[in-house]
Amino acid sequence: MPVPDGNGDKAAHCYPLRRVVAATSDAKEEAVSRFRRLSHTLWHCQYHVVWVPKYRYRILTGSVKQAAEDGVQAICGYAGCEVVELNVQPDHIHLVLMIPPKVAVSDLLDRLKGQSSMKMFHPFRYLKKKPYWGNHFWAKGYCVDTVGLDADMIRKYVRYQEQKEQQFEQLQLCD
């Protein structure tokens, strides 16, 4: 129910969502479609996350890269998160995902890094034999940022970041 503001008028932000959205049905569907629903929540929480292997080794190639992609997809799916974009580079992972408000970003990243580390060491036992790796596949920490109105720009950045890195490496080889 709307609540009156100081002038006796009803505050616009208190109206139900369907009245705040534009009058046309197409605009209404577009505005609501980007949101997800929980039992009592309408949400759109999108994050851009980046993390690296220990010592930023360029180890995420070939079958290790595929295992990392599969692990991230599986763990995010199990946690109820939606992977929007995923790009595994040889020395880092870019991930754009939707995380429900009931899941803490730090808890998800702890789970992602911990469980994917175990998934990496199981089939690739040679990684564990290196004395500096021990039981840690990923470096400590990560970078996380919310994705707002510039979501398309960030998605394109994640999608085409590998091409930009290859172009940069080619320029370095020419020098």
Q: How far apart are the first and last CA of the chain?
A: 67
Tokens of 94: 């870019």
The Cβ-side half-sphere exposure at 102, using a 13 Å CA radius, reads 10
Q: Is 157 a catalytic residue?
A: yes
Q: And the tokens for 37?
A: 């629903």
Look-up of token digits 């503001």 = 5
DSSP per-residue codes, 86-145:
EEEETTEEEEEEE--TTS-HHHHHHHHHHHHHHHHHTT-THHHHSTTTTT--BPS--EEE
Q: Which of 47, 78, 132, 157 is catalytic?
A: 157
What is the spatial distance between Cα 43 and Cα 16, in angstroms, rounded to a whole number?
Answer: 15
Q: Which two tokens stand for residue 164?
A: 């930009």
> Which residues have a catalytic role annotated?
157
